Amino acid sequence: MKTLIVAAHGSRQRASAAEVAALAQKLDDKVKTGGSHDIQQVVHAFLQFCEPSLETVIQELVENGVEEVVIFPFFISAGSHVQIDIPQVVTAARQRYPDVQFYITRHLGILDTIEDFILKEVTG
């Protein structure tokens, strides 16, 4: 089974965490209702301030038989969470779970189409 983790910063604001959880749920619904995605499920995790942590989510996924994990850094810029923290978590996970494949995608802000989304939002 291949799972996508939407990895976000985390916030002390419950509403912020709820937005990330809702996004992950919408993505999960989309992958489960068809399409040509090779992702079977989508979950979310946080790097700080709230739960579930990325480490906890990875552990739970592995315990539930997930064989492939794709981590999407839900960050606008490549700060320390993107450049250091997420790669460190994945390095540790690869050592702890050698039979599981782990991938980190590019972060949100560097995606080629981000400017199109922004312009669409502001111009209607």
pLDDT in tens, 108-118: 999 999 999 99
Nearest to 94 by CA among 58, 123, 121: 58
Mean pLDDT in the chain? 95
Q: What is the CATH number that goes with domain 2-123?
A: 3.40.50.1400
Cα distance between residue 92 and residue 55, in whole Å:
9
Cα distance between residue 80 and residue 82, in whole Å:
5
Cα torsion 75, 86, 98, 65: sign: negative
**Domain ranges (residues) in the chain:** 2-123
Q: Give the rounded percent of residues in the chain with a pLDDT score beyond 90.
A: 91
Please count the other Cβ atoms lying within 10 Å of the Cβ belonging to residue 86.
22
pTM: 0.95
What does the pLDDT average to over 98-115?
96
pLDDT in tens, 76-97: 999 999 999 999 999 999 999 9
